[in-house]
Amino acid sequence: MRRNLLLVDDEQNIQSAMRRVLKQDGYNIYCADSGKDALDLLARHKIHVIISDQRMPGMTGSELFGEVSRRFPEIIRIVLSGYADFSAVADAINQGAIYKFLTKPWDDALLRRDVTEAFRRYELSWRNRQLTEVFNSTTEGVMITDSEGIIQTVNPAFSTITGYSEAEAVGQTPRLLRSDREHPECYQEIWTSLVMQGQWHGELWNRRKNGEDYPQWMTISTLPDGDGGQGRYVALFIDVTEQKEREARIEYQAYHDALTGLPNRRLFHDRLGEALAHAGRNGDLPSVLFIDLDRFKIINDTLGHDVGDQLLQAVAQRLNKIIRKEDTLARLGGDEFTVLLSRVGRQQDAEKILRKLTASFRQPFEIDGESLHITLSIGAALFPGDGESPAQLMKNADTAMYRAKEAGRNGFCFYSQSMNTNAKRQLMLESDLHQALARSELTPFYQAQQDLQQGTVSGVEVLLRWQHPQRGCVMPGEFIALAEDNGLIIPIGNWVLKQACQQARAWLDAGCNDFTVAVNLSARQLQQPDLAKQVQQTLDTIGLPARHLELEITESLLLNDTEQNIALLHRLHDLGIRLALDDFGTGYSSLSYLKKFPFDLLKIDQSFVRGLPDNQEDAAIVDSIITMGHKLGMKVIAEGVETNEQSAFLRWLGCDQVQGYLIGRPLPAAQVEELLFQGSHCE
């Protein structure tokens, strides 16, 4: 703060003398010849301290300061006059209109000291006013108690959130707000944390005056007294009801079909994975049904999309009445539905349900005055004979459904091995994959990631390519699942990590200092008990600082063995490695676990980015993910960015980084190096 001083005296020589003494302290000095001139100047400039002569024509110093006290009470006021005038200003001093009385002639050192003290007094008062303003205007509730927990004061936001006025709260204890949702052990943990660490923060359910329970995020700190003891406690809290509702909406929208309210593909895939995991332990035999509405396109094209949508909703309701409560009905899109029969003992048990489903569609649907007849073609795949993974079961059920259509529609078909024309090709591909590493057929590609604020490439993600000698380039979607199933993902993953670290070390040696190389971790790799040790050894052997390595974990991988995964990721994070949660929004039930994992980065799945900026649902989901990520202390990167409009919209939302074809396609190291070295982080 620049210190502004006003000197008021009708004698120019006095003004000049005081300016000469005080200018060496760096003040911004204004001068006035009379009380009237001083008031005019005060109306135009922000003055902190005034020194005025007492005897002046027209208006005395006391009279001037009386007016200043009324109009500018925050200004510190000093009167300068002879001892003979003390009685004339005594009353003003007693009433607080004057801060200090200085005599003429003055002592230069004493004058400078008194003016310095006056400015310090002003600045202390200013700070107190600012703190009071913050206390009264902040949207965070503030509650201060004494050492016994008796509430001493609260701010207006406290009253807004809780419904209790200051008068109702002061003198009470925080038990006034306690709800029945928290166990007594919770409050004991809070007290222990305050005693041992002097602070506690976390989520807590409290109760408003009207009896409504609400969630809040609270921080409680101890304020020591002057003797080193615990004097007071201050609690700051915010109501997170809207945030939780927003998270619930995000989760619902991400995992449910907007038209029918049924689970969507993501949720179905997750529940199928859970069912298969349980089947491996307790002997249940899940089945997948793939349902397609026969000739739905004709109805949709003839009667219009509104009728088609109503028909899809009615179909969903009818199917839901047939399946059991423990089963899952989902809509994949269009007129395609799937059913997870979570427990099926034999094929005959599944066949009974299939017959009920087809029989239920003998009755027509009454839609918009039209009586619509529609039939089903259903394909069924049973675990484990028709597939041991969600992808295999869904694929084989889909294959069986097409066979049902080929057989004349309005019926069902169970999958058989003879249906899969690609089985032999897959078997040969798996055999060739065993030799791919030894034959140097695998190549790491790198896709650039751009910092939206700086406009520079901040890192790269490693993406694997398989150059097959006969089939040409094989994309990861074809062979990564094979590698997961047969265990080859472990040596392949180790090789990719080593290659990425060696390339990063080479870029460091070439003068590029501020970047990360992101490597994906598979489910099998996460299951290795010594994974953190292996990564550390790789970094040490190559000599790569851990801060240049980023490990990406897909959200769905966190659902099983959660505590084990939390411990593993914390060990990796403690090494200094950045951790990214990949494909965020495509998993299920992990949202509540998110704050437990030490992630540095959230990667928004490209399925949400694809509709930006026009799709309002996608925009709302992306906006909420960015806000949530930032509040949890994480940076956010959007995948699949292909247009300038998407990039600009994400920048406007505050997204930190983007990745996609707009920035660059996956390229060999030599080609992506040019992009990486264009940034200011490279020398």
45-54 pLDDT per residue, tens: 999 999 988 8
How confident is residue 94, by pLDDT bands cut at 50, 70 and 90?
Answer: low
Residue 292: the pLDDT is: 92
How confident is residue 680, by pLDDT bands cut at 50, 70 and 90?
Answer: very low
**Degrees (nearest 5) of the Cα angle 249, 251, 256?**
95
Task: Give, for 233, the enclosing helix (H) or strand (E).
Answer: strand 230-239
How confident is residue 88, by pLDDT bands cut at 50, 70 and 90?
Answer: low
Look up the CATH number of domain 429-676.
3.20.20.450
Task: Give, for 563, the enclosing helix (H) or strand (E).
Answer: helix 562-574
Question: 100 to each of 93, 205, 302, 525, how far by Cα in Å?
Answer: 7, 53, 92, 76
Mean pLDDT to the nearest integer, 495-508:
93
How confident is residue 526, by pLDDT bands cut at 50, 70 and 90?
Answer: confident
Q: Which one of 435-449, 494-508, 519-533 scores highest in mean pLDDT?
A: 494-508
How confident is residue 525, by pLDDT bands cut at 50, 70 and 90?
Answer: confident
User: 47-51, 65-69, 533-537, 616-620: lowest mean pLDDT where?
Assistant: 65-69
Residue 421: the pLDDT is: 53
Residue 549: the pLDDT is: 95
Residue 274: the pLDDT is: 87
Residue 553: the pLDDT is: 86
Whether the per-residue pLDDT at 654 is higher than 90: the answer is yes
Whether the per-residue pLDDT at 95 is higher than 50: the answer is yes
Residue 657: the pLDDT is: 94
Q: Which two tokens mark 445? A: 């590609």
Look up the CATH number of domain 4-136.
3.40.50.2300
Which pLDDT tens digit goes with each residue over 108-141? 888 899 888 888 888 888 887 777 777 777 888 8
Rounded Cα distance, 535 and 485, in Å: 23
Q: Which residue has the higher pLDDT, 7 or 597?
A: 7
Mean pLDDT to the nearest integer, 469-481:
78
- The domain spans of the chain are 4-136, 138-239, 247-421, 429-676
Residue 554: the pLDDT is: 78
How confident is residue 487, by pLDDT bands cut at 50, 70 and 90?
Answer: confident
**Degrees (nearest 5) of the Cα angle 15, 20, 21?**
100
Whether the per-residue pLDDT at 325 is higher than 90: the answer is no
pLDDT averaged over the chain? 84
Q: Name the superfamily (CATH) of residues 247-421.
A: Reverse transcriptase/Diguanylate cyclase domain (3.30.70.270)
Is the whole-model pTM more than 0.85? no
Mean pLDDT to the nearest integer, 522-551:
89
| Straight-line distance from the first to the last Cα atom of the chain, in angstroms, rounded to the nearest whole number | 39
Q: Which two tokens mark 306? A: 């509104």
Which top CATH class is 138-239? alpha beta
